């Protein structure tokens, strides 16, 4: 797998960022030679994009990272939307590595493991909404402050989050313990059921375990209770909907399985520290592009 090595002792340099929405179902990505790195994070539809001689099909929840001097072009119509980030790295800090094994990357020289991350060129995100909220915060920073150093560090944090979301994606399931497998299954179940009114008893019944045992096991592994994790995941999705859609608070509440909008607003304020409206207004300066 092609991957990119990034040394994070210094921040990358942000060039541009924004959100793109295809103006029609017939839109095809333009042809160009990239002058910097481009990160694309898909939020809707499918993007048919080629880098040099390799063709990529990038769907919602997936990302693509292309390096400078890549000949980039669309190879078929793409009805989609995505967030994008163009950046450059400090001198020599980012380099392509063909065939790098992501589950066991080689340690950097000099014992500086914590300063180097490896980013697969293409993959699936474990938490799309979190990445989107972070990219929206970066866009808000660009429009509100336009402070170069701040924007560079925020861009680097996004890349570090990308690394954290992908570094264990290729782990061998046979190496995981039975409890770890169960924990990951529960996390996936919650992720795909966030729009429903989920209860701990419902999860326990689904997996065939005692409710008390399941709650204790989850708390030991994650450090928070199962009930609290469910609430946190619902609020992560709420933050994404508030920043990336024009749905009103009542619509967001219904989409998360709340019958009472007041209960949703109360839970959101408790977890996030802001009301849903305050959160949306804090990151209202979206950068939207249609070309």
Q: 36 and 137 in one domain?
A: yes
Q: 96 and 16 in one domain?
A: yes
The whole-number pLDDT of residue 286 equals 61
Q: 159 and 85 in one domain?
A: yes
Q: 209 and 144 in one domain?
A: no
The whole-number pLDDT of residue 291 equals 52
CATH number of the domain encompassing residue 88: 2.60.120.280
- DSSP assignment of the chain, as one string? --EEEEE-SS--EEEEEEEEE-SSTT--PPPEE-SSEEEEEEEEEEEEEEETTEEEEEETTEEEEE-TT-EEEE-S---EEEEEEEEE-STT-EEEETT--TTSPPPPGGG-GGGEEEEESEEE-S-HHHHHHHHHHHHHHHHHT--HHHHHHHHHHHHHHHHHHHTTTT--GGGS-HHHHHHHHHHHHHHHTTTS---HHHHHHHHT--HHHHHHHHHHHHSS-HHHHHHHHHHHHHHHHHHH----HHHHHHHTT-S-HHHHHHHHHHHHSS-HHHHHHHT----EE--
In angstroms, rounded to a whole number, what is the distance separating the alpha carbons of residues 26 and 78?
7
Residue 290 in any domain: the answer is no
Domain span at 107: 3-166
The whole-number pLDDT of residue 290 equals 52
Q: Does 11 score more than 50 pLDDT?
A: yes
* Domain end (from 166, 182, 198): 166
pLDDT digits (tens, 9 = 90+) for 53-112: 899 999 999 999 999 999 999 999 999 999 999 999 864 344 444 433 333 344 444 445
* Domain end (from 166, 196, 224): 166
- Determine if the pTM surpasses 0.85: no
Residue 289 in any domain: the answer is no
Q: 221 and 150 in one domain?
A: no
Domain count, the chain: 2
Q: What is the mean pLDDT of the chain?
A: 85
pLDDT above 90 covers a percentage of the chain that reads 57
The whole-number pLDDT of residue 180 equals 82
The whole-number pLDDT of residue 243 equals 86
Q: 192 and 275 in one domain?
A: yes
Residue range 154-178: average pLDDT?
A: 75
The whole-number pLDDT of residue 1 equals 65
pLDDT digits (tens, 9 = 90+) for 191-229: 888 888 888 999 999 999 999 999 998 988 888 899 999
Q: Does 153 score more than 60 pLDDT?
A: yes
Count of C-beta atoms within a 10 Å radius of residue 177:
9
In angstroms, rounded to a whole number, what is the distance separating the alpha carbons of residues 119 and 80?
24
Q: 143 and 51 in one domain?
A: yes
Higher pLDDT, 21 or 96: 21
For residue 44, the number of C-alpha atoms closer than 13 Å in the C-beta half-sphere is: 11
* Domain end (from 147, 166, 185): 166
């Amino acid at each position: 797998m092609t991957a990119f090595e990034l040394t994070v002792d210094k921040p990358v340099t942000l060039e541009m960022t924004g959100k793109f929405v295809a103006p029609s179902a017939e839109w095809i990505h333009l042809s160009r030679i990239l002058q910097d790195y481009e990160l694309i994070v898909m939020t809707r539809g499918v993007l048919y994009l080629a880098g040099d001689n390799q063709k990529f099909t990038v769907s919602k929840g997936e990302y693509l990272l292309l390096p400078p001097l890549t000949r980039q072009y669309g190879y078929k119509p793409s009805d989609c939307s995505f967030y994008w980030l163009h950046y450059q790295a400090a001198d020599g800090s980012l380099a392509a590595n063909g065939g790098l094994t992501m589950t066991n990357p080689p340690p950097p020289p000099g014992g500086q493991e914590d300063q180097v991350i490896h980013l697969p060129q293409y993959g699936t995100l474990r938490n799309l909404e979190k990445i989107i909220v972070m990219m929206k915060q970066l866009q808000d920073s660009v429009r509100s402050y336009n402070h170069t150093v701040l924007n560079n560090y925020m861009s680097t944090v996004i890349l570090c989050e990308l690394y954290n979301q992908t570094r264990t994606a290729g782990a061998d399931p046979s190496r995981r313990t039975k409890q770890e497998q169960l924990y990951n299954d529960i996390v996936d179940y919650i992720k795909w059921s966030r729009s429903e009114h989920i209860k701990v008893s419902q999860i326990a019944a689904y997996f065939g375990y005692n409710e008390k045992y399941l709650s204790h096991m989850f708390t030991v592994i994650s450090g928070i209770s199962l009930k609290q994790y469910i609430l946190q995941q619902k609020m992560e999705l709420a933050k994404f909907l508030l920043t990336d859609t024009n749905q009103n608070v009542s619509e967001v509440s219904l989409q998360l399985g709340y019958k009472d909008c007041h209960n949703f607003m109360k839970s959101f304020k408790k977890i996030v520290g802001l009301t849903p409206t305050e959160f949306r207004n804090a990151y209202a300066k979206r950068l939207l592009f249609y070309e």
